[in-house]
Structure 1
Amino acid sequence: MLAGLQNVTFEFGARVILEDSTWHIQPGERIGLIGYNGTGKSTLLKLLVGQYSPSAGTVERSRTTSIGYLHQDLLSFDTTESIHQVAMSAFEKVLALEKEIEELGKELERTGDEKTLHEYSDKLHELETLGGYDIHHRTEEVLQGLGFSNADLQRPYKEFSGGWRMRVLLAKMILQAPDLLLLDEPTNHLDLPSIEWLEKYLLHYQGSVVIVSHDKYFLNRMVTKIVELYQQELHVYNGNYEFYEKEKAVRIDLQQKAFENQQDYIRQQERFVERFKAKASKAAQAQSIQKRLDRLERIEDVAIERPNIRINFRVDKTPGRVLVELKDITKTFGENTIVNGASIEIDRGDKIALIGANGKGKSTLLRIIAGVETYEGERKWGHNVEESFYAQHQLEALNVNNTILDEMKECGSQMTELELRTLLGCFLFSGDDSDKKIRVLSGGEKARVALAKTMVSKANFLMLDEPTNHLDMHSCDLLIDALKKYEGSLILVSHDRYFVSKTANKIWEIVDQQVKEFKGGYDEWVAWKERMAKQEAEQKKAESKNNKANEKQEQKQEQKPEPKPVAAPAPTPSAPINKEAKKELQKQQRIFQQLEEKIAQLNKERARLEAALADPGTYTDKSKFREAEDAYKKAEAELSKMNKEYEQVFEKIMELEKN
């Protein structure tokens, strides 16, 4: 065991976070720690690293266990060192050893002492054992995997924003390679390519990993065990998040039935006590039953789980067919061009996810659509469009003197106070939280108020920039259900792949300063990208093979000596054989030429079919897609057959030319 809790109870004042719970973390485990916001997941991690002490029980840690803990409080760290130096500080022992070797080298040059030479050699061997010669390469590899360019590596750490700083600290922690890695919302500050890189890296990580995350895709791919903090207890599920969801539903059903059975038993016993407690002959028995009821361990009602409240949008007006049209849009920041002469439109019914790596200009394009960003070109609104824009800057528009409830009332949604309080519950404001002043809220809480305001507007077009950043899984699910039923149109920017896969029917991506549209959901887009990458790899392989065959033929022809004019040989018995061989050679050369022409035609046909498959419009019509895919497969098979024949004929020609 690396670390764990043994019969631990932990309390914050009168509030119990954990009660008499045991949890052991074994070597090589990848665990997802989940629970509703505010249940104490981050507190649990702080217990494991010793920042908090339990009220009862023990926190167990092996003396030899090294623990790395990534959390939001690390952002208070600041330095003028480059991000490369900050990440390199993970190799504290190696860096100290390098300094020792440097000093010993200087001393050896000065004295030539044999003892110093032996010590110098020992230190070099130790450096090699610790992998000290490749620490610079490993550091650059991890930083680049997390989205930093080569030019960024020597920039000072203090120049970067909070999200990028967190990436540097994550890189440092990964490079330290502790026995136990505790990650609190590691994907919050990562874009899609960086999340995918982190997934691959952690899947091969030698130590154990505990992850707090609301990213279902990340948990499904990463973890082999789920630990849920629920009702002050830890519940273990041996599987990924998908397994947990199914198993949890079964457990809830069993718990509900057990609760109902126990309630029936309690009511029955209580009626007996009430009826006979005053009767002398039954009083002792009634008293005994009452004592038994007092000692009974009560089963919790699952109804105390947060209910699945529905968020209902109200759309007053139906817009025209085209909501927004962008024509020849160009946007630059200094030397960085985001889009150049891009044109695209958003139609009624579109639910678009704008995805890609950080720095590609997704939020900038969203602001251009919303009309709050300067640009060159033309942006044209359609008929009857009523828009609502949610982004971090919307927090500044909140009236700090209002309560949360008052702020919601001013939206003009015509919802009752009870309906508004119910809605705020979906955005993690329960009970009296609705009466808090805006001024006392944290950044995350203000973001949730701004998002709730966006949801209650009667807009028929929503623009959402990272709407799930401050929501827990349950709230994300409620928002997904609401957006599925939403009758209007929307465009959103999000790195939450599960959220995107459940809400979008189109994917936009900024590629080569143009906006590329894919007509289909996220899962279809991923499958299409993988298929295109595979086809491209196969095409390069085939081209390489053909080039090698052509080179080989050219080399053979170059090596073949020029024929010299000689007198015709006298007829001999072998002459007919040479004549036959010559005829066969000419025949094979004709076949070879024909095959070359056919292969060239087939390559052109395959290129045409690939272009058709690369066109997202093909995927809007099933029959058209199947027809294109069948034609492509047929062309591939024919090309493969021709290439084999080509090689066989080529070998025959080589053989005949030798004779």
Structure 2
Amino acid sequence: MIILQANQVARLFGADVLFENIQMEIDSHARIALVGRNGAGKSTLLKIIAGSEQPDAGQVIRNKNIRLGYLAQNSGLASEETVWNEMLKAFDSLRQMEQRMRQLEVEMGQIDVTSAQYQSLLKEYDQIQHQFAENNGYGYENEIRSVLHGFQFGAEFYEQAINNLSGGQRTRLALAKLLLQKPDLLILDEPTNHLDIETLAWLEGYLQAYQGALLIVSHDRYFLDKVVTEVYELSRQKMRYFKGNYSKYLDLKAQQLASEWKAYEKQQEEIQKLEDFVARNLVRASTTKRAQSRRKQLEKMDRLDKPQGDEKSAHFLFDIEKASGNVVLQLTDGAIGYEETILSAPIELDIRKQEAIALVGPNGIGKSTLLKSIIGKIPLIQGQLHLGTNVSIGYYDQGQAELNANKTILHELWDEHPTTPEGDIRTILGSFLFSGEEVEKPIALLSGGEKARVALAKLSMNKDNFLVLDEPTNHLDIDNKEVLENALIDYEGTLLFVSHDRYFINRIATKVIELSETGSKLYLGDYDYYLEKKREEAELKALLEQETTQTKEANTAGKQSFQQSKEQQKQLRSLKRKAEQYEQEIEALEEKITELELAMTLPENLANHQALVELNTSLEAAKEQQEKLLEQWEAIIGELEVIEDATN
């Protein structure tokens, strides 16, 4: 059943058209993504569909019986209530039913059960009770707890006043309340902002099971692939529809563009032939009539527009001025936090040249704090930090605090590189989509996406060999995210970055470091590998917990199995021997790698191309073997930790 239609909708700003002739249909169980560049008008269109703004042309027709819920981008919940009391408001109608049921129970207890009045009250009570039960009246408090838990609000938050919480927490509560209200059409503008990876995964699962319709704007490709089944693309003032998730949309869009080019080129060939025939034969008496016929055919032809590919994207690279040594950064027994509050410890980092490491963990665990400690903005509470030879750090701040609001875009770069000609600065800014008079805009007037591009432009000019990036994809649309990904994949330096964009992590990361209250843990792979290892750890932990529970029960009954304990000790000894063997092999390879790198710098080898090739081949083989051994060693250490925890 169609619950909403947008017909010929337009938004105009004087003579300028933001979008026009927009057509959209939303079914009662639709899962729709609205995608497009920053500035295309996605948020404006959502406001028109939600009814908070009126279109300049066209109309939005809504089913009169539908309940519509709309969450604007970064809109936090403003309330003087506690978290729990505010969430209860989502169930006001149920609570009124509950109150009426209690009232009827009192009234029925005061009158004769054989009277007509009693029977009338009993009938009303049965009707309300049936409706109450159908709408989860006996379980809505558990539903509140479940949703709050999904958004990382434990019981300690229930009695806290909402106005005392952070902006990010209030944004999550606004979304939580909207989900609890269960509107027939849920319209969400960038709902994944301020969510950590664990919460994102929970929200994906919740929305997949949502009973109503969804209309979502998001730049999170992983999220869109999991949740949506239809895509509307808003581009160049027009709308296009594609069936499928985001990845399917990309495939269909490419196929459609190829088909349009084929049809366009075929028609152009036909036009060329007709025009040539007319030009050659119009003045000849014997062929004039045929030429006139061809000319009429040309005039009647419905000419296809030249296909337009993707809109203009930024295009840039990150170069390095000077290569660093093999060891880029090492941190031993680190602890981060503020004053006496430790957020995470112990933290161990060993970052090597050309590695790309993603730092993940829940919100509030200190990921940004660790990055700021590495660049020297916040002191470590404890630990020894060592930077390698020739390491130069470039830092990207997610809040763009490094930008000067009083400067123009041009002078933000030029003042740091005064010897660079203005023309060169303008060329660099052009590659980040700032051209002409745009470079004279003050930083203070820029959007989040524009500030992000300025910050990236500054970073590219510095040519540092170690980039420390805090949420670099925030505020970037999907196309410009892909440009950034490609630039970082081609980057010859070293990367350490924090991101909640799982697609981005998958493309960039060669290793993942998980930060928790108990410190850091290394995973030797991309995000999908990290997820797989986490699942394996959870399954193993559950199995061991089950075995431990069974063992404790057996101990209580006086039936502890000596053989089982013996087997565990045997398994522990075996794993420790394997771990020691791998450590020795890894250490030997490390020495070999160091020797090969040193050999490549010797004058006799630098002058011998064949020798250099052979040394480099040996070096790459040694590094590859070392990675494999590290992965196997890490798996064994993980098993040891789990078994030792279970036996303690």
In structure 2, the CA distance between the partners of 1:74 and 1:628, relative to structure 1 (3 Å rule), is closer
In structure 2, the CA distance between the partners of 1:103 and 1:383, relative to structure 1 (3 Å rule), is same
Moved more, 292-301 or 309-318: 292-301
C-alpha deviation, 1:131, in angstroms: 2.1
C-alpha deviation, 1:448, in angstroms: 3.2
- Paired with 1:408 and 1:286, the residues of 2 have a C-alpha distance of 62
Structure 1's unaligned 5+ residue stretches are 556-591, 634-659
C-alpha deviation, 1:136, in angstroms: 2.0
| 1:358 alignment partner, one of 356, 359, 363 | 363
Give CA-to-partner distance per residue, 1:235-257, whole Å, 9 cap, x none. 22222222222222222222222
In structure 2, the CA distance between the partners of 1:500 and 1:632, relative to structure 1 (3 Å rule), is closer
| 1:383 alignment partner, one of 366, 372, 389 | 389
1:391 partner letter: D
Give CA-to-partner distance per residue, 1:129-170, whole Å, 9 cap, x none. 432232222112101101122212221111223222111111
Give CA-to-partner distance per residue, 1:499-540, whole Å, 9 cap, x none. 111112221222334222223322222222222222222333
For residues 440-459 of structure 1, what are the structure 2 equivalents within 5 Å?
440-459=445-464
Give yes or no for the alignment of 1:149 onto 2:158: no
| 1:226 alignment partner, one of 227, 231, 238 | 231
Give CA-to-partner distance per residue, 1:455-510, whole Å, 9 cap, x none. 32211111111111110011000000111111111211110011111112221222
1:50 partner letter: G
For residues 77-226 of structure 1, what are the structure 2 equivalents within 5 Å?
78-100=78-100, 114=118, 123-226=128-231
2:31 partner letter: R
C-alpha deviation, 1:103, in angstroms: 6.1
2:154 partner letter: S
- Paired with 2:192 and 2:572, the residues of 1 have a C-alpha distance of 44
1:146 partner letter: F
For residues 355-434 of structure 1, what are the structure 2 equivalents within 5 Å?
355-377=360-382, 378-395=384-401, 397-398=403-404, 400-402=406-408, 404-412=409-417, 424=429, 427=432, 429=434, 432-434=437-439
Give yes or no for the alignment of 1:622 onto 2:632: no
- Paired with 2:24 and 2:312, the residues of 1 have a C-alpha distance of 28
Structure 2's unaligned 5+ residue stretches are 587-624, 640-648
Task: Tell me if structure 2 keeps the 8 A contact 1:609–1:631.
Answer: no
C-alpha deviation, 1:390, in angstroms: 1.4
- Paired with 1:334 and 1:80, the residues of 2 have a C-alpha distance of 31
C-alpha deviation, 1:199, in angstroms: 0.8
1:493 partner letter: V
In structure 2, the CA distance between the partners of 1:629 and 1:482, relative to structure 1 (3 Å rule), is closer
Task: Tell me if structure 1 keeps the 8 A contact 2:78–2:170.
Answer: no
- Paired with 1:487 and 1:632, the residues of 2 have a C-alpha distance of 32
Aligned to 1:262: 267
SS at match of 1:302: coil
Task: Tell me if structure 2 keeps the 8 A contact 1:427–1:471.
Answer: no
Moved more, 601-610 or 84-93: 601-610
- Paired with 1:397 and 1:233, the residues of 2 have a C-alpha distance of 35
In structure 2, the CA distance between the partners of 1:427 and 1:195, relative to structure 1 (3 Å rule), is farther
Give yes or no for the alignment of 1:505 onto 2:506: no
In structure 2, the CA distance between the partners of 1:554 and 1:72, relative to structure 1 (3 Å rule), is closer
Instruction: Give the length in aligned residue pairs.
Output: 592
In structure 2, the CA distance between the partners of 1:159 and 1:626, relative to structure 1 (3 Å rule), is closer
1:369 partner letter: I
Give CA-to-partner distance per residue, 1:186-212, whole Å, 9 cap, x none. 111101111011011111111121221
- Paired with 1:328 and 1:238, the residues of 2 have a C-alpha distance of 51
- Paired with 1:130 and 1:624, the residues of 2 have a C-alpha distance of 54
Aligned to 1:301: 307
Aligned to 1:50: 51
- Paired with 2:137 and 2:351, the residues of 1 have a C-alpha distance of 54
Give CA-to-partner distance per residue, 1:574-632, whole Å, 9 cap, x none. xxxxxxxxxxxxxxxxxx98x668745554457659989999x9995436767998999
- Paired with 1:128 and 1:229, the residues of 2 have a C-alpha distance of 43
Task: Tell me if structure 1 keeps the 8 A contact 2:10–2:55.
Answer: yes
Moved more, 437-446 or 600-609: 600-609
- Paired with 2:19 and 2:210, the residues of 1 have a C-alpha distance of 30
1:622 partner letter: K
Task: Tell me if structure 2 keeps the 8 A contact 1:411–1:456.
Answer: no
1:48 partner letter: I
- Paired with 2:162 and 2:336, the residues of 1 have a C-alpha distance of 28
Aligned to 1:64: 65
C-alpha deviation, 1:322, in angstroms: 2.8
C-alpha deviation, 1:121, in angstroms: 6.5
SS at match of 1:132: coil
SS at match of 1:515: strand
In structure 2, the CA distance between the partners of 1:262 and 1:85, relative to structure 1 (3 Å rule), is farther
In structure 2, the CA distance between the partners of 1:228 and 1:630, relative to structure 1 (3 Å rule), is same
In structure 2, the CA distance between the partners of 1:270 and 1:93, relative to structure 1 (3 Å rule), is farther
Give yes or no for the alignment of 1:312 onto 2:317: yes
Task: Tell me if structure 1 keeps the 8 A contact 2:357–2:512.
Answer: yes
2:628 partner letter: K
1:63 partner letter: K
In structure 2, the CA distance between the partners of 1:258 and 1:15, relative to structure 1 (3 Å rule), is farther
In structure 2, the CA distance between the partners of 1:338 and 1:550, relative to structure 1 (3 Å rule), is closer
Task: Tell me if structure 2 keeps the 8 A contact 1:337–1:513.
Answer: no
- Paired with 2:375 and 2:632, the residues of 1 have a C-alpha distance of 38
SS at match of 1:451: helix
In structure 2, the CA distance between the partners of 1:474 and 1:422, relative to structure 1 (3 Å rule), is farther
SS at match of 2:138: helix
SS at match of 1:154: coil
In structure 2, the CA distance between the partners of 1:311 and 1:632, relative to structure 1 (3 Å rule), is closer
C-alpha deviation, 1:368, in angstroms: 0.5
C-alpha deviation, 1:418, in angstroms: 6.6
Give CA-to-partner distance per residue, 1:88-116, whole Å, 9 cap, x none. 22223123334545666777889999577
TM-score by length of 1: 0.78
1:522 partner letter: Y
Aligned to 2:42: 41
C-alpha deviation, 1:427, in angstroms: 4.7
Give yes or no for the alignment of 1:12 onto 2:18: no
Give CA-to-partner distance per residue, 1:252-280, whole Å, 9 cap, x none. 22222223333444555566777889999
- Paired with 1:278 and 1:15, the residues of 2 have a C-alpha distance of 46
SS at match of 1:74: coil
- Paired with 1:471 and 1:213, the residues of 2 have a C-alpha distance of 11
2:483 partner letter: L
Task: Tell me if structure 1 keeps the 8 A contact 2:344–2:365.
Answer: no
Give CA-to-partner distance per residue, 1:425-445, whole Å, 9 cap, x none. 665546643332223223443
1:16 partner letter: V
- Paired with 2:302 and 2:325, the residues of 1 have a C-alpha distance of 64
| 2:500 alignment partner, one of 471, 495, 499 | 495
C-alpha deviation, 1:297, in angstroms: 4.4
- Paired with 1:613 and 1:89, the residues of 2 have a C-alpha distance of 61
- Paired with 1:274 and 1:137, the residues of 2 have a C-alpha distance of 81
Moved more, 509-518 or 491-500: 509-518
Moved more, 159-168 or 112-121: 112-121
- Paired with 1:92 and 1:262, the residues of 2 have a C-alpha distance of 63
